[in-house]
Structure 1
């Protein structure tokens, strides 16, 4: 049966407790679980399972099933935990199970949520779009065009002025720059870091083209920056791009900045 909620389970429990019965027949979730389960009759164990499932339904805010399989699984879990913690009450143990399940729910929700802007996951999602069979590489690349304000936010003069002038020409024609994998390249390799780490000479600098060492003096801290490659499965060499930077709340592509050094 689907959707039997906490109210129905508690009503059943209340009804049993209100009925004339011996102490052995009563179900008290606040007593040690070794008593609540270990000394319970088969009928009482069914009621205990229903109470546990109802408690979990309320805590996890989702529909519960009180079918035989779910009931047996609940009892199996409670028997195991009660054997390990015989002096803890059934309500304490069930609450602990719910807490762990709630953590799992939260982790799953966070994993399914959109990645944080500028994060490595965000960068991977962006680059993965270029690998889609129906990807419009030109349109996707055009969306990465930096403005002069973007350039000046990341680099200082005189490099910033030189970059703005050169990029104006490069980005004027898609033939000059289009991000797209070569035939057979269906996977990516990606290195995410920050301009702070590059400036500090962090080992990740070695994952970027050597020319970046020449522009560190003009680079401002505080920006996520990425290098990536499109590769064939199992390979590490491929079609590489650098200078994917998160600035002004979006990703832009400013490749090979060292070439603009005067």
Structure 2
């Protein structure tokens, strides 16, 4: 009986020691597994499109040709918390869950092969700098105080070559090692 109790104790200690060796260990291994898998999938997507303007452009060129790719841009709770100040994070998450991610689409007409990209930092948006004012919809001025500093936000348009109008989108931002899409954030933060 003592051997059985001692064996159980040693096995438990060994299990705890092995769990403690994992840098990403959490209280429950059952909770850890899905988080790690989601993190790995996000990391792979992040590696394909790095946190640069060129990475953003490559992703934006790929989106109309690969519609399911837009679903990889769905922010996590941690992403919302990193991008938005205070309770604005939860408000944005609820809004996008109800109004975007059930039927998220991003399209361009066949002739709209020219990509036009505009960017501004969250600091430029918060202060409503000339760069932000010239390149972003006015609603961003309302959203600015709710954006955390340190991120670059992108707005883009798919247009026919030589034209300045087309399918316009906004709200692409790189956070936590991957790209996310939070379009028209002022709408998410209204009321």
What TM-score, normalized to structure 1? Answer: 0.51
The reply on whether 1:205 has 2:138 as its aligned counterpart is no
Q: 1:146 and 1:115, CA in 2 relative to 1: closer, same or farther beyond 3 A?
A: closer
Q: How does 1:195-234 map to 2 (within 5 A)?
A: 195-206=122-133, 207-234=135-162
Q: How does 1:72-91 map to 2 (within 5 A)?
A: none
Which residue matches 1:180?
107
Post-superposition offset of 1:196? 2.0
- Quick one: which of 70, 73, 76 aligns to 1:141? 70
- Find 1:162's aligned residue among 91, 116, 127: 91
Please, which runs of 5 or more residues in structure 1 have no aligned partner? 1-113
Task: Check the 8 A contact 2:82/2:175 in 1, yes or no.
Answer: yes
What corresponds to 1:257 in structure 2?
Answer: 185
Contact 1:194 1:222 in 2 (8 A): yes
Describe how 1:58-137 pairs up with structure 2 within 5 A. Answer: 117-131=50-64, 135-137=65-67
User: In structure 2, do the counterparts of structure 1 residues 170 and 252 end up closer, same or farther at CA, with 3 Å as the change threshold?
Assistant: same
1:116 CA displacement = 8.3
* Distance in 2 of aligned mates of 1:141 and 1:116: 13
Cα 1:115–1:191 change in 2 (3 A) is farther
Aligned residues: 143
Q: CA distance change for structure 1 residues 142 and 184 in 2, over 3 Å: closer, same or farther?
A: same
- In terms of Rg, which structure is larger? 1
Q: Name segments (4+ residues, structure 1) moved above 6 Å.
A: none
- TM superposition shift of 1:193: 2.6
Q: CA RMSD in A?
A: 1.9
User: 1:172–1:121: structure 2 CA closer, same or farther, 3 Å change rule?
Assistant: closer
Structure 2 distance, partners of 1:172, 1:218, is 21
Q: Do residues 189 (structure 1) and 116 (structure 2) align?
A: yes
Give the SS at the match of 1:143. Answer: helix
Aligned partners of 1:186 and 1:233 also within 8 Å: yes
Higher relative CO (Cα under 8 Å, sequence separation at least 6) belongs to: 2
- Mapped contact 1:190–1:228 kept (Cα < 8 A): yes
TM-score computed with the length of structure 2 as normaliser: 0.69
**What displacement does 1:136 show?**
2.1
Distance across 2 between alignment mates of 1:233 and 1:160? 38
C-alpha deviation, 1:115, in angstroms? 9.4
TM superposition shift of 1:172: 3.8
